[in-house]
Amino acid sequence: MSVKVAFITGSAKRIGATTASYLHNAGFNIVLHCHHSTETAHALLSTLNARRENSASLVVADLCAIEGLESLAEQVVNAFGRIDVLVNNASSFYPTPLGKITLAHWQDLFGSNVQAPLFLAQYLAPSLAIHQGVIINMVDIHADRPLKDHTVYSMAKAALVTMTKSLAIELAPEVRVNGVAPGAILWPEQALTEQDKEQVLRQIPAKSLGKPEDIAQAIHYLCDARYVTGQIISVDGGRSVVSSHKV
């Protein structure tokens, strides 16, 4: 039986890298992706191939360059001759206060969070269908509860949620489409004050940050959950069920 293949965008570091390693340990072959983080991506590639020879590959691409996405999809399929799982993990995230929003912000945030996942799904759907594959989109609890000063990002994630549910209908029954909505897993790369961190933790019933492995575990579940499609799984320590909180 052929080994299943997972393609994870933005998998050089943070949650993407953890997910790649987790699925690799579960027996998947992995197609890694990065844009700028080539050094860390190559290090992870070497680590995975050292664990299991010829089990990982790497593609380098700007996901916001829509004209290159079809070629990228071809590279992904050609890496191992098949694709079973597409994880749309790559995501730009930063504040865009009203009055300071630019076209570049719009193109970057929608390009990485909506445009690339949509067109990668379109280009990879025929190959995914052959093996009854799955698309897993990394959404956000802020798709439902917008984050102050992050209007464009929150809009983009809301669009990704709608896309997830729409594609689940359109691609059924051959391809399942689901989403994972992380809560506070890792602090943003942009610095937060200790007061900001304490405020976030007060909003979480579990009273702690999650771990990247929590997201990877949810993604692994969705890889094999044959009767689950069109769903968004929140992995947030209960934050999304709190009826009211400040953001």
pLDDT digits (tens, 9 = 90+) for 42-81: 999 999 999 999 999 999 999 999 999 999 999 999 999 9
Mean pLDDT over residues 27-39, rounded? 97
Percent of the chain residues topping a pLDDT of 90: 81
Mean pLDDT over residues 15-31, rounded? 98
- 222 belongs to a structural domain: yes
CATH number at residue 142: 3.40.50.720
Whole-number pLDDT of residue 190: 61
Q: For residue 201, give its domain range.
A: 5-241
List pLDDT tens digits, range 125-161: 999 999 999 999 999 988 988 889 999 999 999 999 9
Phi-psi region of 223 (alpha: psi -120 to 50; beta: other; left: phi over 0): alpha
Residue 111 CA to its chain's centroid (Å): 14
Give DSSP secondary structure letters for 131-200. TT-EEEEE--GGGTSPPTT-HHHHHHHHHHHHHHHHHHHHHTTTSEEEEEEE-SSS--SS---HHHHHHH
The model's pTM: 0.93
Rounded mean pLDDT of the chain?
93
Active site residues: 153
Percent of the chain residues topping a pLDDT of 70: 96
List pLDDT tens digits, range 78-136: 999 999 999 999 999 999 999 999 999 999 999 999 999 999 999 999 999 999 999 99
List pLDDT tens digits, range 210-245: 899 999 999 999 999 999 999 999 998 888 787 544
Residue 112 token pair: 């990485």
**Largest interatomic CA distance in the chain:** 56
Give the CA distances from residue 99 to residues 95, 96, 119, 150, in Å, rounded to whole numbers and listed in that order.
Answer: 12, 8, 30, 12
- Above 90 in pLDDT, residue 3? yes
Whole-number pLDDT of residue 54: 97
Residue 162 token pair: 């709608």
- 192 belongs to a structural domain: yes
- 246 belongs to a structural domain: no
User: Structurally, how many domains does the chain consist of?
Assistant: 1
